[in-house]
Amino acid sequence: MSDGVGVILVAAGRGERAGISTEGPKQYRRIGGRAVLAHTLDAFRSHPAVGAIVLVVHPDDQTLCEAALGAAMEAVHLVTGGAERQVSVRRGLERLAALNDAPEIVLVHDAVRPFVDRATIDRVIEAVRADNGGGGGGAIPAMPIADTIKRAAADGTIAGTVSRSGLYGAQTPQGFHLDAIRAAHAAAAESGRSDFTDDASIAEWAGARVVLVEGAADNVKLTTREDIARADAKLKDRHPMIDVRTGNGYDVHRLVPGDHVTLCGVRIAHDQALDGHSDADVGLHALTDALLATCGAGDIGDHFPPSDPQWRGMASHVFVERAVAIVAEKGGRIMNADVSLICEAPKIAPHREAMRAKIAAITGLAMDRVSVKATTNEQLGFLGRREGIAAIATASVVYGEAQ
Ligand X SMILES: C[C@](O)(CO)[C@H](O)COP(=O)(O)O
Ligand Y SMILES: Nc1ccn([C@@H]2O[C@H](COP(=O)(O)OP(=O)(O)OP(=O)(O)O)[C@@H](O)[C@H]2O)c(=O)n1
Q: Of the candidates 85, 69, 116, which has an alpha carbon nearest to the alpha carbon of residue 231?
A: 116
Binding-site residue total for ligand Y (CB under 6 A)? 22
22 carries a ligand binding annotation = no
Distance CA 19, CA 227 (A): 12
Distance CA 103, CA 112 (A): 23
Largest distance between two CA atoms of the chain: 92
Q: How many Å separate Cα 263 from the centre of its chain? A: 31
Residue 14 contact, options ligand Y, ligand X, none, Cβ 5-8 Å cut-off depending on partner type? ligand Y
φ and ψ at residue 32, rounded to 5 degrees: 55, 30
Q: Does 11 bind ligand Y (CB under 6 A)?
A: yes
Residue 15 contact, options ligand Y, ligand X, none, Cβ 5-8 Å cut-off depending on partner type? ligand Y
Least distance to ligand Y, CB of residue 284, Å: 40
Residue 83 contact, options ligand Y, ligand X, none, Cβ 5-8 Å cut-off depending on partner type? ligand Y
Least distance to ligand X, CB of residue 323, Å: 39
Q: Is 195 buried (19+), middle (13-18) or exposed (0-12) by CB count in 10 A?
A: exposed
The stretch among 6-14, 60-68, 252-260, 334-342 that binds ligand Y (CB under 6 A) is 6-14
> Interface mask (CB under 6 A) for ligand Y, residues 193-222, using x and -?
----------------------------x-
The answer to whether 215 and 209 are in contact (CB under 8 A) is: no
Q: Decide whether 202 or 397 has the Cβ nearer to ligand X.
A: 202
Measured CA to CA in angstroms, residue 69 lies from 36, 179, 271, 387 at distances of: 10, 29, 44, 44
Q: Decide whether 15 or 249 has the Cβ nearer to ligand X.
A: 15
Distance CA 105, CA 129 (A): 8
Q: Of the candidates 152, 151, 126, which has an alpha carbon nearest to the alpha carbon of residue 139?
A: 126
Distance CA 128, CA 139 (A): 6
Residue 16 contact, options ligand X, ligand Y, none, Cβ 5-8 Å cut-off depending on partner type? ligand Y
252 carries a ligand binding annotation = yes
Q: Does 293 bind ligand Y (CB under 6 A)?
A: no
Q: Decide whether 13 or 141 has the Cβ nearer to ligand Y.
A: 13
Tell me which amino acid residue 186 is: A
In the complex, which residues of this chain contact ligand X (CB under 6 A)? 85, 110, 170-172, 197-198, 221
The answer to whether 278 and 319 are in contact (CB under 8 A) is: yes
Residue 129 contact, options ligand X, ligand Y, none, Cβ 5-8 Å cut-off depending on partner type? none
Q: Decide whether 14 or 230 has the Cβ nearer to ligand Y.
A: 14
Question: Please, which of residues 66-125 interact with ligand Y by CB under 6 A?
Answer: 81-85, 88, 110-112
Residue 342 contact, options ligand Y, ligand X, none, Cβ 5-8 Å cut-off depending on partner type? none
Strands 5-11, 50-57: pairing is parallel
Q: Of the candidates 252, 283, 256, which has an alpha carbon nearest to the alpha carbon of residue 267?
A: 283
From the annotation, which residues make up the binding site?
A: 251-253, 277-278, 285, 299-301, 375-378, 382, 385
Q: Which residues bind ligand Y (CB under 6 A)?
A: 10-17, 25, 27, 56, 81-85, 88, 110-112, 221, 223
From the annotation, which residues make up the binding site for a divalent metal cation?
A: 251, 253, 285
